[in-house]
Structure 1
């Protein structure tokens, strides 16, 4: 697998939220999940739009959340 993720549900949530508001920047669409500092620390420009983020970067974000803020079971 070229871009392994620890929890596919987290990746699904991130991509859904990122693309749900098409013309918003990642800072705005994912601001409830990531601070600007965390995004910058991962090498992701918070001013980028969802369509400009690579698959590897989405996987990196998903792995960060899986380790630091796991999804709650409902």
Structure 2
């Protein structure tokens, strides 16, 4: 199945070509993070189709996954 991925801020270099990635049915957000080569501790916020989700959330065909690092400020 194919999903759309957008990695933001310091994770942007991990966004796949064309923002698309083919994965197996039943793939979780954590498995996608591993596939992209991102350290799981570097991802703090995850959205599927605009809804906040957990690492164990399962993706479906056509889902849009957004990955965000911790945001600091001062």
The two structures have a TM-score, normalised by structure 2, of 0.38
Higher strand residue share = 2
Please state which structure has a larger fraction of its residues in helix. 1
